[in-house]
Amino acid sequence: MTISPKLQLQQLILLQKLDDEIVEHRNQLADIPVQIDSEFKELEDKKKILSIAKEEIDTLQKNRKAIESEVQGENDHMAKAKTKLPAVKTNKEYTAILSEVDAIKKKVEGLEDKELEIMEVLEDKQKGLPAIEKKCKEEDSHFQEYKTKKADELDRVTKEMNPLLAKRETVKSQIDTVIFQRYEKVAKSRGGKAVVSLQENICQGCFQQILPQMVINVKVGESIHQCSSCLCFLYWEEVSETVMPK
């Protein structure tokens, strides 16, 4: 069965369209896991505020406990000092113990002030925690929605692939083997583009001028032509004034 050059050219144009679509699908298939991954990393970043807040609360509680035990220690110290009082013999000793007790009292007051400050901050942080937890939960569910959407997209794109590949086989069967091989070779070397339009006398693959005779032949469309500079297959495309060339 011989297929007319005119029909083959139509099939070449179709083949290019299919291959463009196939590439687009493959890119999408490769991109989707990357997109999910980057969204997940963003989620983790957003959720860091929760672990930071929890850590802050934990540190404050530890600091508070440390101050409490320091106060306890100072109070014991003070009680011990006071027990010495009945046995005191001189005024000097008495005064010394009293000033020791005073000093401890002041220290305890200072510690208690510090504890109060910590407790205030702690209270604020604890009050703020539910809002942060809520926000994180929302972010979690947004991510789950995004993931489901992307999984659906992946599914759809995967399902679309087989019909495209099958259609490509059909189109391929209507193109002469030698021409098909040339198409593949050009496509491989030119980033997937092997069939381009000719607008005026300019090849849209390499933007070089085409010789007038070939322009006429391409315009007639009864034979298959390749650009002599980039080797792309050429088809005629009328350029209207309102449409910008691609």
One character per residue 207-246, x = contact with Zn ion (rule: CB under 5 A): --------------------x-xx----------------
Dist. CA 118–CA 221, nearest whole Å: 85
CB of 197 to Zn ion, least distance (A): 11
Dist. CA 210–CA 188, nearest whole Å: 22
CB of 212 to Zn ion, least distance (A): 15
203 interacts with Zn ion by CB under 5 A:
yes
Question: DSSP letter string over 78-117?
Answer: HHHHHHTGGG--SHHHHHHHHHHHHHHHHHHHHHHHHHHH
Could you report how far apart the first and last alpha carbons of the chain are, in Å? 36
Dist. CA 56–CA 60, nearest whole Å: 6
β-bridge partners, 202: 199, 209
Q: Which is nearer to Zn ion, 56 or 184 (CB)?
A: 184
- The residue from 143, 182, 183, 205 that contacts Zn ion (CB under 5 A) is 205
Q: Which is nearer to Zn ion, 126 or 201 (CB)?
A: 201
Within 52-81, the residues that bind Zn ion by CB under 5 A are none
Q: Which is nearer to Zn ion, 166 or 211 (CB)?
A: 211
Interface positions with Zn ion (CB under 5 A): 203, 205-206, 227, 229-230
